[in-house]
Structure 1
Amino acid sequence: MAATRGTASAGGRSADTVAWSTRELADLAGTTLNTVRHYHSLGLLDTPERNRNGYKQYQVTHLVQLLQVRRIAELGVPLSKLAAARSDSTGLRAELRQVDAAVAAEIERLCRARSDIAAILDVRAPIDAPRGFETVAAQLSESDLALIHICARVYSASGSFRLREMVAEEPPALRREFDGLSFDAEEATRQLLVRRMAAETSNWRWAEVLWSSEEFRSPDLAREEARRTIGASVNEFYNAAQSDVLRRVSSSLRDAPVEHRSRPGDAPSLFDVVA
């Protein structure tokens, strides 16, 4: 239906009037017919008069109203809140502050995602590499990466940072030796690897210094829960010989003189609850 024009007089002055159909109004506002109908159902758009044939006749005031509603909706204010706060500028400003906070959080998330994507692309790291481990991910086994994913949830931000340092400090040759340890490795081979790993302060797979510390452990997990989670993960991701070696390294470090331990104190090993 085409827009209709007419001439009306008021106080000796003549003025042109324009009436639009629902579709014409939607086109003018850059929206859809269904959107206009939806706004009507929410009480956001006044109902226009109808002509003799029953068709709605939208006026300029309706167009302005529709454009205003769309503008506020574009800012992110939920339509359900807009209906209640339509005549309350204070309420709308409060909603805008909430929207602004949500937008700021989303921008922060997107910036972090872009940074992570750039790190993965720069070093051709596995796409599912744990955050912060992109530079070393290609050098780690699937078991190591799986354990790090778990650790990243168990440890706090400072704990994860320390874990990254420990992983980076691990000698590549020692990592390859541990990765290559078969499930039926001989006793002499196991003992030799235990001595080598115990001599390294970056024994990150057994990281009691992290999960037992309130500073490094996630505030969402109690100490015992963190220990059970890491211990069960180690036994799940590594073969029998590797788990045996890590268990022995754990015992060796706990029995070592205080000055040679990862941390002071005599805390039980993570393997004590899963062995």
Structure 2
Amino acid sequence: MPLPPIPRRVKIGDAAAFARTTPRAIRHYHAIGLLAEPERGSDDRRRYGYDDMIRLLWIREMADAGISLDDIRAGFEGTTGIEQSLARLEETLASKAAAIEAQRTAVHRLREAGSPLGLLSPLVSGRLRDLPPGALRSADLDTLLVTERVFGPVGAAVQADRFIVLATHPELRAEEDRLAEAESALDDTVSPDDPRIEDLAVQRCAHEIALVATIDRSGLGEALDDLLDRHDEHDGEEEAEATMGTLEAIGKMPYDFSPARVRYEERVIELLHPADQDSDIPQTC
């Protein structure tokens, strides 16, 4: 069987088709000095020979592997070895693969836990998973999301116990709602010296003491200690790297608090953490 006619040179369209690219791409290779522009024939069209096609195939295979055109050119010119470019590319791909795997893990957690609970770290969402659907309010989850950003998963896991108690003790939830409504009334029309601030701060302090006592009785604190021990063994270093400084994070989170509300929050902290008392939470306010 005789061979078909074998051309010594081919037009740009045929060269592009053979190399699985486009004439526009080949013209770009010419423009950036990656592929020498061949002489034109009598019809003023470029004609590509065997060596041109070999070079074009090299370019396309390396480009398909992810090597940049600049690195390909540097490799051809001998200023940078192709092996160096491949090593850099392999490092980049490994980094991308790790990022993709982290995304897959996050998506899996979102699908498994549901949103917005799945937006929290496994350490925090694991504390809340046994609660019935709807037991946690949207505002509770929002608060946990902010707390985790400021204090990290450990801080949010500690706070999660507070919301577990509120979700399972209606009388404490009712008192929380009453206090929250009174706190929201501390707007710009209220003076920071208003005596109601002190009275409300004392009530909030008493409520927080009741919450802590309920947490202690429930055994949540002991279970959390065990969980945190396991967490420290596996995730401590990554968490330290990922968590923004607490003061920096607090300074970047806006709250529309009036001067009266700011004074109230300060007074609550003073009552809960008196300077001359060793325990974190006082027995009385």
Contact 2:205 2:271 in 1 (8 A): no
The higher-RCO structure (CA 8 Å, 6+ apart) is: 2
Aligned to 2:181: 183
What RMSD, in angstroms, separates the aligned Cα atoms of the two structures? 4.2
Number of residue-to-residue matches in the alignment: 229
Shift of the alpha carbon at 1:146?
Answer: 5.4
Shift of the alpha carbon at 1:104?
Answer: 0.8
Aligned to 2:108: 118
Q: Percent identity?
A: 19
Aligned to 2:228: none
The match for 2:36 among 36, 46, 67 is 46
Aligned to 1:192: 206
TM-score after normalising by structure 2: 0.62
The residue correspondences of 1:1-275 to structure 2 (distance < 5 A) are: 16-88=6-78, 91-126=81-116, 129-132=119-122, 133-134=124-125, 136=128, 139=136, 141-142=138-139, 144-145=141-142, 148-149=145-146, 151-152=148-149, 154-155=150-151, 160-174=152-166, 176=173, 180=177, 181-184=179-182, 187=200, 189-199=203-213, 226-227=246-247, 229-230=249-250, 233=253, 235-236=255-256, 244=264, 248-249=268-269, 251-255=271-275, 257-258=277-278, 260-261=279-280
Shift of the alpha carbon at 1:76?
Answer: 2.0
Contact 2:12 2:46 in 1 (8 A): yes
Aligned to 2:230: none
Shift of the alpha carbon at 1:166?
Answer: 1.5
Aligned to 2:187: none
Structure 1 189/149 Cα, relative in aligned 2: closer, same or farther at 3 Å?
closer
Structure 1 167/27 Cα, relative in aligned 2: closer, same or farther at 3 Å?
farther
Judging by fraction of residues, say which structure has more helix.
2
Judging by fraction of residues, say which structure has more strand.
1
Structure 1 247/45 Cα, relative in aligned 2: closer, same or farther at 3 Å?
farther
| Unmatched runs of 5 consecutive residues or more in structure 1 | 7-15, 204-214, 263-275
Shift of the alpha carbon at 1:234?
Answer: 8.0
| Unmatched runs of 5 consecutive residues or more in structure 2 | 168-172, 184-198, 222-236
Structure 1 71/219 Cα, relative in aligned 2: closer, same or farther at 3 Å?
closer
Contact 1:123 1:134 in 2 (8 A): yes
Structure 1 65/148 Cα, relative in aligned 2: closer, same or farther at 3 Å?
same
Structure 1 90/80 Cα, relative in aligned 2: closer, same or farther at 3 Å?
closer
Contact 2:38 2:47 in 1 (8 A): yes
TM-score after normalising by structure 1: 0.64
